[in-house]
Amino acid sequence: MTSEQRQKIQPTWLGKSLAGVLLGLVLAYILIAFFAWYGPGGIDAQDKVQFNMWMIPILWLTLFSFTYLFNSARQAWLILGGANVILYSLFLLLRGGL
């Protein structure tokens, strides 16, 4: 594959930043929710609340930093938004909310 055939990463930093801030935070919350409810000890495990609280910014900033690797802001919004919809739907389905 030549360099002309590969898509270049577009410098749409504002759109990517907003996707990382908004959708990345929501995605970090749902990933921590899965760990909180279905991880070791369930939701009532000792000291799990404190661990979950400190893991959210680490996970969020990791997702935020990887947002700049998407080819475009549109792709970042679609993939992160789709991941949010799928994971929240799965979480509600497993919790018996749907």
pTM across the whole model: 0.84
Residues constituting the chain? 98
- Those residues with Cβ within 8 angstroms of residue 26's Cβ, 6 or more apart along the chain or in another chain: 84
Quickly state the pLDDT bin for 97 (edges 50, 70, 90). Answer: low
The overall average pLDDT reported for the chain is 90
pLDDT at 67: 95
Q: What is the pLDDT of residue 27?
A: 97
Is residue 4's pLDDT more than 70? no
Q: Tell me: the pLDDT tens digits for 33-76?
A: 999 999 888 888 888 889 999 999 999 999 999 999 999 999 99
Q: In Å, what is the CA distance from 92 to each residue of 32, 41, 78?
A: 14, 20, 21
Averaged pLDDT for residues 18-23? 96
